[in-house]
């Protein structure tokens, strides 16, 4: 319920059918124009004489925000303190080392399932879905704490990065790309044989989610538990009268670092080197290749194994 009703609800659950040729054509022709700060691309359709014609589509951060109904704004941040993000994650029961990687299996099942959904729906990477990248941590942190975060800008920046990747370009955000195309041209040709398959949750993915030491959450916290939750204005992740377990001892070991999506608080120690998230794996551009999307969020439900279904946040 929490994710479905959150500001990323549509981005997670929209049932848009994705067509491989549309998405491939987007990534083959997309370019960024600095003058209007928009992505431009060509889509092909038949004219009244049955001839193929190319039509231009263009969109910017604001269009992405509108179509995905993300509810953020240009004034919202994309960079937050690592201290805030990891403090909240410790409160969510993270069992790993505070300066190590954030792995899904190191959370209790309730939070692990939520993280799994967000990673598969919003991550720009093709793999390494067990590890959560910095900006995914930020998105979840700001959702749980009811803080603003410019998800639209983050998605748009990774689209630009892929456009500029040259031979390393790959099929990124296929569902979002199809939604942007459909928003401007609903009548372009669509062939059922061209549908890009979505891989639903299986017993294998369920097993991966249940690995590791299980820490049961006493109760859900912050906005998950209370829709009217008001976040603190500073970089704290809990109110003074909070009854949840104290994570200060674990947080005392944190060595803050500056990354693309984190900043270090004034006067705090930095690492000399900034660790990087796992790089995305490139997909060859041969037209015969069939891409299978690993996203599991579809139509507001998670397709589980043996024919059962579980609602998001249900």
- In this predicted structure, which of 130-144, 154-168, 237-251, 284-298 has the lowest mean pLDDT? 284-298
CA angle 116/121/126 to nearest 5° reads: 90
CA-to-CA distance for 192 and 157, rounded, in angstroms?
31
Q: Is residue 279 predicted with pLDDT exceeding 50?
A: no
Confirm whether 230 is domain-assigned: yes
Are 103 and 113 spatial neighbours (Cβ–Cβ below 8 Å)? no
Confirm whether 77 is domain-assigned: yes
Q: How many domains does the chain have?
A: 1
Q: Is residue 289 predicted with pLDDT exceeding 50?
A: no
What does the pLDDT average to over 265-291?
Answer: 46
- pLDDT score for 123: 85
Confirm whether 179 is domain-assigned: no
141 lies in which domain range? 9-16+72-170+199-311
pLDDT digits (tens, 9 = 90+) for 76-102: 999 999 989 998 888 888 888 889 888
- In this predicted structure, which of 32-36, 122-126, 298-302 has the lowest mean pLDDT? 298-302
Confirm whether 262 is domain-assigned: yes
What does the pLDDT average to over 298-308?
Answer: 34
Confirm whether 104 is domain-assigned: yes
- pLDDT score for 74: 96
- pLDDT score for 8: 93
CA-to-CA distance for 314 and 3, rounded, in angstroms?
10
Q: Is residue 1 predicted with pLDDT exceeding 90?
A: no
Percent of the chain predicted with pLDDT > 90: 31
Backbone Cα Rg of the chain: 20
pLDDT digits (tens, 9 = 90+) for 199-211: 654 445 545 555 5
pLDDT digits (tens, 9 = 90+) for 18-75: 999 999 999 999 999 999 999 999 877 777 777 878 888 999 999 999 999 999 999 9
Q: Cα 168 to the chain's mean position, in Å? A: 21
- pLDDT score for 239: 67
Confirm whether 186 is domain-assigned: no
Most confident of 17-21, 252-256, 258-262, 298-302: 17-21
Going by pLDDT thresholds of 50, 70 and 90, the confidence category of residue 135 is very high
For the chain, helix, strand, coil in percent to 5 are 35, 10, 55
Beta-carbon contacts of 145 under 8 Å, excluding residues fewer than 6 positions away, are 84, 88, 222, 223, 229, 231, 237
Are 172 and 291 spatial neighbours (Cβ–Cβ below 8 Å)? no
Confirm whether 52 is domain-assigned: no
SS3 assignment, position 27 = helix
- pLDDT score for 295: 44
pLDDT digits (tens, 9 = 90+) for 169-187: 999 999 999 999 999 988 7
The pTM (predicted TM-score) of the whole model is 0.76
Confirm whether 121 is domain-assigned: yes
CA-to-CA distance for 52 and 8, rounded, in angstroms?
36
DSSP class of 30: -
CA angle 102/105/111 to nearest 5° reads: 85
Q: Is residue 143 predicted with pLDDT exceeding 80?
A: yes
């Amino acid at each position: 319920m929490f994710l479905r009703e959150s500001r990323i609800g549509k981005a997670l659950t929209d049932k848009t059918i994705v067509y491989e040729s549309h998405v491939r054509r987007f990534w083959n022709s997309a370019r960024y124009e600095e003058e209007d700060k928009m992505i431009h691309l060509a889509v092909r359709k038949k004219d009244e004489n049955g001839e193929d014609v190319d039509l231009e589509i263009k969109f910017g951060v604001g269009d992405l925000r509108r179509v995905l109904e993300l509810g953020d704004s240009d004034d919202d941040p994309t960079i937050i303190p690592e201290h805030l993000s990891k403090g909240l994650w410790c409160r969510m029961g993270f069992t790993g080392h505070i300066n190590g990687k954030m792995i899904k299996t190191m959370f209790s099942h309730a939070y692990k399932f939520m993280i799994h959904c967000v990673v598969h729906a919003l991550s720009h990477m093709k793999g390494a879905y067990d590890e959560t990248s910095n900006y995914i941590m930020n998105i979840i942190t700001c959702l749980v704490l009811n803080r603003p975060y410019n998800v639209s800008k983050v998605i748009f920046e990774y689209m630009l990065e892929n456009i500029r990747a040259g031979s390393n370009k790959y099929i990124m955000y296929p569902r979002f790309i199809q939604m942007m195309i459909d928003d401007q041209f609903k009548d372009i040709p669509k062939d059922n044989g061209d549908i890009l398959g979505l891989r639903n949750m299986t017993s294998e993915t369920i097993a991966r989610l249940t690995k590791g030491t299980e820490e049961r959450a006493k109760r859900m916290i912050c906005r998950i538990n209370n829709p009217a939750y008001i976040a603190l204005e500073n970089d704290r992740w809990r109110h003074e009268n909070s009854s949840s377990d104290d994570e200060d001892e674990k947080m005392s070991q944190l060595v803050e670092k500056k990354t693309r999506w984190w900043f270090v608080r004034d006067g705090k120690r930095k690492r000399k080197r900034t660790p990087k998230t796992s790089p995305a794996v490139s997909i060859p551009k041969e037209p015969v290749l069939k891409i299978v999307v690993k996203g599991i969020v579809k139509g507001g439900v998670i397709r589980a194994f043996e024919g059962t279904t579980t609602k998001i946040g249900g």
